[in-house]
Structure 1
Amino acid sequence: MKSTLKFLSFASLILVAYGCQKGDDLESKKEKLEELKTESAELAASIDELEKEIGALDPEFLKQTQKSMLVTTVNASKGKFEHFVEVTGSVLSKKNVSISAETAGRILEVPAIEGMRVAKGQLLAKIDAETIQRNIDELQTSLDLAKTLFEKQERLWKQEIGTEVQYLEAKNRKESLENSIASLKTQLDKAFVRAPFNGTIETVNVRIGELVQPGSPMFQFVGESDLFIEADISEKYIGVLHKGDSVYVSFPSIDEELHTKVSSVGGIINPNNRTFKVEVFLPNIKDVKPNMIAVLEIKDYENTSSVLVPNYLILSDNRGDYVFTVVNNVAKKTYIKRGMTFDGQTEVMEGLTGNEVIIDKGFREVGDNFNVNISKL
């Protein structure tokens, strides 16, 4: 038993000693690795600095040491550049009217509801006109008698029986009653409020049972013809936009596009949002309705001989904007003066002639005077 315990104790000591030796060896290797990494970084920095110093004295040496990078290119183009102001407008109608009562009475029917599309002449509301109808009926009875008397008097007058005064009195009585009935029928017709033209009911201001007087507002009605687009434009474009300017219009809800012109430019600045109104002519389009949203692109600038480059290829540093061009398979940092930008293209005012080859894919990885290999794909 004692021999066994002695053996186990000896074995334990050996394991502890081995573990300590292994742990010390691992830590030393980690320390050695960190030292080598530090030396490698310092060495790489020294090499890079030395290459730059030699390259400044011997450009050919720099070209030889630099690895040729695979890039793709695009050509700077020269052509027509157009800039557009993009704003959101709303379709409105010249026929936006308030329909009011033309006769007094109580509302009997209101078949019209807000948002309802109606045709010209369609009934919107009915006003109680029973009194007018009774007056018409009474006068109609008197008119029937007046017609009979006139016809008899006319026959006698043709037979030269009776006086001319009797004939004229009978005629006047008949015509007077006819005019009175016609006037009452006009008033009766005003009790039936109808749509003046094809359009949409915007608001309904009356309810069944209400008493209305002549001039009481009943409906706000918008016609479907004589449509136009109205938009608010920032005041900074005052003097830039003019009547007759070209406009591209799109309607996102119906996927419709068209080309039209500015029909009116407002001359007053809204003090709340510093904008002015612009109206755009809108031809008749089947699915375009009042209050529909429209996106306007109004052309405010055009140059028929601009040098154009894609926006994303333009980089900047402390000196200014630049692109990388390729000359004899070497990347060159070419500084430019940019103009206006629209639809992914930038107009270059200075720095390019339009005949340059510009690095596309890989333009962020290259540097000035880097060797490049242009991909054929």
Structure 2
Amino acid sequence: MKRIYLPLTIFLIASAAVVLTSCKSNAKAADVIDEAIAVKVSPVTTTQYAPVLKYSGSMASTAEARLSFKIGGIISKIYVKEGDHITKGQLLATLDLTEINAQVQQAAQGVEKVQRDVTRVKNLYNDTVATLEQVQNANTQLSVAEESLRIARFNQQYAQIRATENGTILKKLMNEGELANPGTPVFQFNGTAGNDWVIRFGVSDKDWAVLKKGEKASVEIDAYPNKTFTGIITEIAQGADVSSGTYEIEVKVLPGTARFAAGLFSTVKLQPTGEQTVTLVPVEALTEATDKTGYVYTVNADGKTVTKNKVTIAFLENNKAAIWSGLDSAHEVITEGVGYLTDRSFVKVIK
């Protein structure tokens, strides 16, 4: 009879399968090692940094104003043109006074009529024909009529535009014969009596948070290429501009002996007193970088795989990149071989 040893056959087959599986795993591991990308790493450092903020804007005077008529009417005469230097109290423009003078005359005649009514009612009251209430009502009507006359005369006075101080007409916005509505600007006026020259510009929310009133600034003006002026932050907006989303900053510029004019293009450099902590890495570590963001690779604890970290760039200086955030726990970053990496790459670190 033929004997069959089944358990021994099964054992031999299983052993062969284990040997084959082990050989495949070793071969795959060898392939991974062979495919690993050679990289070099560099240490990161942290430092305290006060950023230099650079913005631009146009020179303006704190006495700049838009002059207008208080009441509406037809512009009768304009006495100045753009660029004219004017003195305080100088007549700049007038309205046609035909309608306004008529209103004053009408109010004056109304006062005269009520005065006669008051006199008549008082006489009747003395003759016990009129009552005390009628006398009081007549006096009230007289007060109302006198106030109406005062309003008409006030409007007549402001049917003209006069200079509020010494200055320059920057722009003439309307012409003779046009209908000027109440409060519609006719002139853009820049007062030059003092030296209150300022530059206004919008900053981002991050820059707004570190700026403080009273901090100094350096100002460069294209009209004076070889000179730097001193500025002081005088105003910081407490709300964002609806259209731009920025926060307006006002810097007062000290002219010294220089002559300023509205509209001069200026560059302002600000250095906040408050310092912030930034992480410094070699600039070679950055990849896919834009103006504010980029990516930096770090080696994981196993020494073979990598992590792709999105970082926020504060600034670039020489061969260093300052990072606001994204590398809080990193001690080393990959600096060589970065261009060949993805977040699934295997690496071998070369010392």
Instruction: Give the TM-score normalised by structure 2.
Output: 0.45
Higher helix share: 1
Higher CA-based Rg: 1
* TM-score of the aligned structures, taking structure 1 as reference length: 0.42
